[in-house]
Amino acid sequence: MDHPLERYALPPVRSPHEWSVYHAIRRDAIFSALLPGQAYDEHDPDEFQHRHLPHVLVRDGEIIGTVRIDLVGETQAGLRLIAIRRDLQRQGHGSVLLRLAEHAARVLGRTEIVINAHPTSLSFYLANGYREGNGAMPGRCRQRLFGWEIFTNLRL
Ligand SMILES: CC(C)(COP(=O)(O)OP(=O)(O)OC[C@H]1O[C@@H](n2cnc3c(N)ncnc32)[C@H](O)[C@@H]1OP(=O)(O)O)[C@@H](O)C(=O)NCCC(=O)NCCS
């Protein structure tokens, strides 16, 4: 599906409305769908670290996806809990989100993206040029839950 990039934006989460939709999409698309039994904590201190940057994918003014861009070490960006609203999946929006997040990472001076991928999303990342990594990404319980580390080098 062809998605003109100018219809999309990937701003950092700022307003109460953006926070509310950010949490709702993550809770529904990731925790309910993929991690049943695992509670979602909106107040997780990990969300508020200064090197962790929550973003939303906006299309035609509507929030339809989420990603947290983490600054990892000096050169990497970790993309955490990428999610597209459940009713809008498999329409190309996730691929647009990845492109915009990669651009944001480049602007932040990063040269490599690392992701701890849930096994069900592996095909999505492989289809978007990512490859299996070496397990070096720092993380807490989500790394154990998600299992696969994948990465891509950013062409500058
Ligand atoms: C994974 C996710 C972000 C992908 O976003 P999306 O908008 O659905 O994906 P796209 O439409 O851009 O998919 C692009 C390509 O990736 C592959 N792909 C995407 N989702 C896939 C799936 N569930 N199974 C197999 N291949 C998949 C396909 O090749 C697809 O192209 P196609 O639809 O023409 O076959 C989204 O489905 C989602 O939020 N899933 C639930 C949460 C999740 O798994 N997040 C990732 C955690 S690490």
**Where are the domains positioned within the chain?**
5-153
**Segments in the chain forming alpha helices (H):** 16-26, 33-34, 93-107, 122-127, 141-146
Q: What is the mean pLDDT of residues 65-74?
A: 96
Atom nearest to 125 CA in ligand 1: 16
CATH classification number, 5-153, choose in 2.40.50.1070, 1.20.120.530, 3.40.630.30, 2.40.400.10: 3.40.630.30
Gap between the Cα atoms of 155 and 70, Å rounded = 19
Is 82 close to ligand 1, i.e. is its CB under 6 Å away? yes
Q: What is the pLDDT of residue 136?
A: 58
- pTM recorded for the entire structure: 0.92
**CA torsion angle for 99, 108, 21, 137 (degrees, to 10)?**
80
Asked if residue 47 has pLDDT above 50, the reply is yes
Residue 126 Cα to ligand 1 middle (Å) = 10
**Mean pLDDT to the nearest integer, 62-86:** 95
- Ligand 1, residues 91, 118, 124, 152: which to mutate, most atoms within 8 A of Cβ? 124
Q: Is the pLDDT of residue 106 over 60?
A: yes
Mean pLDDT of the chain: 88
| More confident position, 1 or 41 | 41
From CA 76, how far away is CA 94, in angstroms rounded? 20
Q: What percent of the chain has pLDDT over 70?
A: 87
Q: Kindly state if the Cβ of 84 falls inside 6 Å of ligand 1.
A: yes
**Is the shortest distance between the CB of 67 and ligand 1 below 6 Å?**
no
pLDDT of residue 144: 42
Pick the residue with more confidence: 82 or 145? 82
Position 140 pLDDT exceeds 50? no
* pLDDT, mean of residues 140-147: 44
For the stretch 111-138, pLDDT in tens is 999 998 888 898 999 999 888 876 656 5
Question: What pLDDT digit, counting tens, does each position of 13-40 carry?
Answer: 999 999 999 999 999 999 999 988 889 9
Q: Kindly give, in sequence order, each residue whose CB lies less than 8 Å from that of residue 128, ignoring residues fewer than 6 positions away.
A: 95, 98, 152
